[in-house]
Amino acid sequence: MENKALEQMKKQHVNNYKNAILDIISNNTSALIGDIRILIKKPPLETMDLIKVRFLSLAKKNKVILNTVKLDKKIDGFRNNLLKICVEIEELRVKRLTEIVKREKITDKEVIKINKKDFIDINREIKKIFKSEFDESVDSLLNKLECIFSEDIDVKIKNLIINEITKYIKNNYLKQLLENFDIKILVKDTTLINSIKEQNERYKFTLNNSRILNDLDK
């Protein structure tokens, strides 16, 4: 086979390899977004809805009856607002990781590598986006919260409940949510690194054991 044809085959092999890596990044990021959505979306059981449970607990403690229909609507709005970050996070992560892949110069002895340090800036930006949207979504949740209370409620009790729920959401709830958020990202980052290593091994095996591709070196 002519050298020109062999060179073209080898170039195609490299392109297929890079595209396989890009597919891995895309699928891994989609899986991450799925995990994040599960964290944010309404839990399957009402007892797992930490925000609503806290509202009802405070109401019971202060002997207040809440309008649960309007409360559900407010909490659903909070979650829907927060879910908006998923598209932005997905686009950002895929874009940044794709840039790493495309700037790599592939030679016979080198492969594409994505290391833990490559995720530092990406994850910092992702977390910043998440935190910013969380703050805005909380503000939207707490805005006009009076609608869940009866008109004759004692103002002091109403303000007490609002202050307590605000403190809970912005501290304990956020802390727990961010911890789970970080774990989901760490797991997917590690999975991605390992998946790329496996793809690298397949690429090198084909490169080293293909009689046709090795004819280029003769």
Q: pLDDT digits over 103-149, tens only?
A: 867 765 678 889 999 999 999 999 999 999 999 999 999 988 989 99
| Integer-rounded Cα radius of gyration of the chain | 25
User: How many angstroms separate the CA atoms of 166 and 39, rounded?
Assistant: 20
Q: Per-residue confidence at 3, pLDDT binned at 50, 70, 90?
A: low
Tell me the HSE value of 137 on the side-chain side, using a 13 A CA sphere.
22
Q: Per-residue confidence at 213, pLDDT binned at 50, 70, 90?
A: low
**Nearest-10 crossing angle of helices 85-103, 3-40:** 160
pLDDT of residue 10 exceeding 80: no
Mean pLDDT, range 9-33, rounded to an integer: 90
- Positive or negative: CA dihedral 120, 121, 123, 127: positive
Amino acid 13: pLDDT: 74
The closest of 169, 163, 152 to 65, measured between CA atoms, is 152
pLDDT of residue 40 exceeding 80: yes
CA distances from 192 to 23, 30, 102, 197 (A): 11, 12, 17, 9
* N-terminal to C-terminal alpha carbon distance within the chain: 12
Please calculate the CA angle 96-35-47 and round it to the nearest 5 degrees.
150
Q: Give yes or no for a contact between 31 and 37, defined as CB atoms under 8 angstroms apart.
A: no
Instruction: Give percent of the chain with pLDDT exceeding 70.
Output: 90
pLDDT tens column, 46-91: 888 999 999 999 999 999 999 999 999 999 999 999 999 999 999 9
pLDDT tens column, 162-191: 999 999 999 999 999 999 999 999 999 999
CA distances from 33 to 123, 126, 132, 206 (A): 13, 11, 17, 33
The closest of 100, 87, 104 to 25, measured between CA atoms, is 100
Amino acid 157: pLDDT: 94
Residue with the larger pLDDT of the pair 21 and 210: 21
pLDDT of residue 215 exceeding 60: no
- For 97, counting Cβ atoms within 10 Å of its Cβ (0-12 exposed, 13-18 middle, 19+ buried), the class is buried
The two structure tokens encoding residue 119: 């995720």
Amino acid 49: pLDDT: 93
Q: Per-residue confidence at 6, pLDDT binned at 50, 70, 90?
A: low
51: Cα separation from own chain's centroid: 21
Q: Per-residue confidence at 14, pLDDT binned at 50, 70, 90?
A: confident
Amino acid 104: pLDDT: 67
